Every structure is written in structure tokens, then in C-alpha cells.
Amino acid sequence: MNVLLGGATLAQRELVRFYRQRSRIVGSLAMPVIVWALLGSGLQAAFPSGMGQESREFLKYFFPGNLILTLVFTSIFSTISIIEDRHEGFLQSVLVSPLSPTGIVLGKVGGGAFIALFQGLLFLALAPLAGFHLNLLDILAVVITITSISLTMTALGFLFAWRLDSVQGFHAVMNLVLFPMWLLSGAFFPPESASRFLKPLMYLNPLTYGMWALKGALGGKIEWVSFMSLLGMVLLFGIVFMGSSVWLVHSKREMTA
Amino acid sequence: MKQRWIELKQIRFSYGEKTALDGLSLEVNEGELFCIVGPNGGGKSTTFKILSTLIQPHAGSLSFWGEDGVRFPQRIRPHLGVVFQSPALDKKLTVEENLFYQGKLYGLTGKKLKEKTAQILARFELSDRKQDKVETLSGGLKRRVEITKSLLQNPKLLILDEPTTGLDPIARREVWDHLKMLRKEEGVTVVFTTHLMDEAESADRTALLDRGRVVVSGTPSELKSLVGGDVIALKTNHPIELKNGIHEKFQLEAKLVDQELRIQQTEGAKFIPALVEAFPHQIQSVTLGKPTLEDLFVLKTGHHFWKSETRPA
């Protein structure tokens, strides 16, 4: 009871702060849109064979990858607030409150994932431009997918943010982790055709399963059994990350401890 | 009958190689305004973190109203009000929002939360500022909100880390008025840390901390009586020579503090003429005073430093 109330309180605070910093909303949405538009139209110029039909195809091909890019960046960077909270002292007052480690993780991860979901939905609104025509069931499947990806990635961000004491350090570490994860998610090439060296890395990447699930949901005609098992994989990673986060908060409350 | 409220026994804590607390023991009774005073680096902040349950001692025992604080910090936390030295407010939120979130972390909801918040804001004269974002408030007001926030859950114990640091004299006075009001009207037990000796004098009881241990503790008058007699302070250009001279002539141990020699003497006024006659050229000025906690601190830690030979005598 107290865990849920406390968690919801922290999550709510996360959303209020996000809403009051408009530049964050614009920034994290504009980046993938720009990447997507530039990649799509740039590749059209590089392969000038068609009459504009190809550019449509490229835009369509990169759409799920860019949707995932939005989610990944928003979820992970929302956990920067943990580092800020530590510096500003707010975190201390949470740590001495009766809220359990589970409540702290649920609140922070829940709030961050909600923000990512919101950004994902904004990007999803561009789907018709990319040539996707989704019915209600497809949209529901997409929403479930991006929720799962957001939760998992926010939990991963939490794990890093808890032990890092500077925002700069977090950026450095996350860029080293995030970009490879995104590049190896199947956004650019499918794991089936990847080299023997990359294949295992791709199968160890939660985003690969998220990408499959997302492509399935966006493509219409969902095969529910495989879709659900892909989601299961994503969430399995998420549960492992969250469990580790709870353990981390429990055993290392303080930077110095 | 006053109850033993907090009991720390032989607490040890170190940051890597560096020992912060070296067998610290202290006791606080119910309803007391208790002060932990000491120089920076003496172990105040670490003691505070242990009291707040933020960190666990590496050795020793800690109990709050009879509950084991080392084994069951989660049983203690609901009853603690904690005011950190660094502000723990969310600057982007309003005063009222900060209080709401805090209340919810302690399990207050709905009508009860609203009532309690309104009541406490009124009490601390913050009602007209409740819609202001915290980042727009002055340092003194922020500290007031901070204290208000820590009282929402009706704590059994309020602990504050250097609550007046960085405040101007008026804001400082306000903090004191509020703390005294709380103790008087609500009987809340209050423990605070400070590096200012004059603040320690307004507490019910004080513990002097140095090098991770309690050097001495008691009520301010008990502590002062430990110094005994009067304190004579001498200004001089040649402190070391004068110190040695006094030792030879009167067999008295003068303490050198910030280019000033301090001598403890039962009847100071009678001793001064002899002193001035003996060293007519070396003494620039003489001050006679009643002992302060600072004198006690010098007396106790001077001794301490002396024994470990880290300070030139």
C-alpha cells in the first residue's frame, strides 16, 4: 500500500517536472524526427533511381528504429533526474523516508517510462506519414510494445544512474552503451543476416526483441503468440534490471556507503 | 519521568582508510533540545547521517526509543523528521507541492494530508507563500519550509544538520525561535549539529565532538563548571616565550589559541596584577571573562591534541 502510494508520488513528481521543462519535450522529440527525415531523404538522394517511391520505403523502413530511438533516449535520460536529485539533496529526504527500495525503483522507473511512452506516442502520430495505416488493435499492440520497451530501458538507466555522481559521466557511459544497443537492435540490419560476431550480441539485446515486436505490430496482421513471447523477452530483461535496481538501492543507499 | 530516547554506543564508521567515528557514544532524553557541536571534520555530519538512518555504522549499537536502529531502520524512519544541511526541496515545485509529496511518502493522503499541510503552513507563517516555487524563496524561507516539511508526519524525533549555516542573523534567530517553540509546545525531541559554540549554549544538553568521539557532554552550565574559575586571555607578540615564562614562574599551563594565551584561574582578578607585573613588556592586553563552552573545548581538545603530539605546544 505504502509502496504504491510512495511510488506513485515519485512518478507524479517526475511528470510534473518534465511538464515544467518544455525544452526537454521539444528536444527529445525533435532529435529522432530529424534523424528519421534526414536519413530517409538523404538515402533517397544517394540512390536516385525511383520517383520518390523509394524515399517512402526508406522512411517506412527506418520508422520503427527511430521510434525506438525516441523511447531509448527519453527513458534512459529521464533517469538523469536521479543524479540531479542526489546533488540537489532531494534524494536524501526520500532515502530517510519510510518508502522501501522497491517503492523508490517503481516510482522512478514508472515516472521515466511514462514520459518515454508519451514521447513515443507523439512520434507514433507521424506513422501515417511513413505510410503505416493502423487499426485500433494494431495501435494497442504498438502501445503495449513501447510501454514494455520504456520500462525496461528506464530500469537499465536507473542501474547506471544510481552509482554515477555526475551528469557528464552518465552521458559518457550511456552513449557508450546506448548507441551500440540501438545500432544492434535490428533498426538497420536484421539479426538473421548479421555476422557471427554480432549475432550473439544482438540476441542479448532487449531492444532486438522490442524491435521485432514493434515491426510485427506496425506491419498489421499480428501473430499474437510470437508477439507475446517477444514482449515477454523484453519484460524479462526489464524485471532483471528492476530487481537489480532494488538490490542496489537496498545495499548502496549512499554514494559513500 | 523522562525516557531515554536515543542511545548510541561505541559507534564506528570509516570512509575507506579515513576513520570518521571512533567509538562514539551519546544519549539523548525524551523532549530534550540536544546539541552536537564540534569542529568541521570532527564527525558531526557522519553522526547525523547515522542518526538519520542514511548510513549504517560499521560497529556499535544504535537505538531509538528502545528499537534497534541498526537492524530495523525501516521501523525508525516513519518517526523521524530530518532536515539536511543541503536543501532537500524540489526547487521546481511549489512550497505546497513539496509538502504534499513529502506527506505522501509518509503515508498521508487525501483530506488528512490537506488539513495537516494547511495547519502546518499557517503555524509557520507560510500560508501566503504556498503557491510560490521553491527556487524563488530566500535562504531563510527555504530553511523554514524545510523544517515545516520534516514535521508533517508528527515525528518523535527531529534532527537537523547545521540548521543555521548560511543564514543571516535574522533568519538564524527565526530558526531558533521555531525550534524552541516546537520543543515547548509539542515536546518534540530535537537533535541538531553546529560548529557555533554560542548555539550550543542554548541547548538543554550538549555533546562536544572531536575526532569521532564525544569529548564531554552535559548541560551548558555543567560543562562550564568543568572549566572552573575564570579565564584570562592575554594578547601578546611573543606567545611562545610568554607561555614558557608563565610556566616557569607560576607553574601554570597556558593554552595558545589563535595567537592568544588563555589561562584558567580560580580567582582571576587577584591573579592579574601579579601576572602583569611579572611580564610588563610582553603583555599587550588582558581580558578577564567567565568560561564559555569554547574554553571547555580548548581545555578538552587541547589536552587531546597535546597527548597525540600533533599540535606544537
* Domain-located, residue B43: yes
Residue of chain A with shortest Cα separation from B92: A17
Chain B residues closer than 8 Å to A97 by CB: 77, 102, 105-106
**Whether residue B299 is found in the same domain as residue B187:** no
> Is the pLDDT reported for residue B309 higher than 60?
no
Rounded Cα–Cα distance for residues A102 and B78 (Å): 16
Burial class, B164, CB count within 10 angstroms (exposed 0-12 / middle 13-18 / buried 19+) = buried
pLDDT (tens digit, 9 = 90+) per residue, B249-266? 888 888 887 778 888 888
A95 — contact with chain B (CB < 8 Å)?
yes
H helix or E strand, kind and range, residue B276: helix B268-278
Q: Which three cell numbers stand for residue B189?
A: 525531541
B308, pLDDT greater than 60: no
**Are residues B257 and B122 part of one domain?**
no
**pLDDT at A155 > cutoff 90:** yes
Instruction: Give the closest-approach CA distance of A198 to chain B in angstroms.
Output: 41
**Comparison of pLDDT for A41 and A127, the residue scoring more:** A127
Rounded mean pLDDT, B158-182: 88
**Do B176 and B202 have their domain in common?**
yes
CATH number at residue B280: 3.30.70
B128 and B36 part of one domain: yes
Q: Which range is most confident: A50-64, A196-210, B166-180? A: A196-210
pTM for this structure? 0.83
Residue A36 has pLDDT above 70, yes or no: yes
Lowest mean pLDDT among A89-93, A221-225, A241-245, B88-92: A221-225
Say what the alpha-carbon torsion angle B102, B105, B106, B107 is, to the nearest 10 degrees: 120
Q: In the predicted model, what is the mean pLDDT of residues A136-148?
A: 94
Strands B4-15 and B18-29: antiparallel
A24 Cβ under 8 Å from any chain B Cβ: no
C-alpha cell at B28: 539523548
Answer whether residue B107 shows pLDDT above 80.
yes
Q: Which of A93, A100, A249 to mutate to test the interface with B (most CBs of B within 10 A)?
A: A93
Which has the minimum average pLDDT: A42-56, B72-86, B120-134?
A: A42-56
Same domain, B27 and B117: yes
pLDDT at B271: 86
Residue type, A131: G
Predicted confidence band at A32 (pLDDT cuts at 50, 70, 90)?
A: confident
Which residue, B200, B218, B236, sits at the end of a domain? B218
Instruction: State which of B187, B218, B249 marks the end of a domain.
Output: B218
Among the ranges given (A105-114, A134-143, A202-211, B219-228), the one the predictor scored with the smallest mean pLDDT: B219-228
Q: Are residues B9 and B106 in the same domain?
A: yes
pLDDT(A238) > 70: yes
pLDDT classification of B241: cutoffs 50, 70, 90: confident
What are the angstrom distances between the C-alpha of A47 and each of A43, A61, A118, A171?
6, 15, 35, 35
- Whether residues B267 and B157 share a domain: the answer is no
**Mean pLDDT for all residues in chain A:** 87
- ipTM confidence score: 0.79
Domains contained in chain B, number: 2
Sheet holding B189-194, edge to edge: B80-83, B157-161, B189-194, B33-37, B205-210, B213-218
- Same domain? B14 vs B141: yes
Average pLDDT over residues A108-132: 91
pLDDT at B62 over 90: yes
Does residue A125 register a pLDDT over 50?
Answer: yes
Residue A88 contacts B where some CB pair is shorter than 8 Å: yes
Structural domain contains residue B313? no
Tell whether A101 lies on the interface with B, counting CB pairs under 8 A. Answer: no
Question: E-strand spans in chain B?
Answer: 4-15, 18-29, 33-37, 59-64, 67-68, 80-83, 157-161, 189-194, 205-210, 213-218, 230-236, 255-257, 260-265, 283-289
Query: Which residues span the domain enclosing B256?
Result: 225-308
Residues B206 and B76 in one domain: yes
**Cβ within 8 Å, pair B55-A21:** no
Query: Which parts of A79-100 fold into alpha helices (H)?
Result: 80-88, 90-95
- Bridge partners for B194 per DSSP: B37
**Partner residue facing B77 (CB), from A8, A20, A98:** A98
Eight-state DSSP code of residue B275? H
Q: Is B289 on the interface with A (CB under 8 A)?
A: no
Last residue of a domain, one of B182, B203, B218: B218
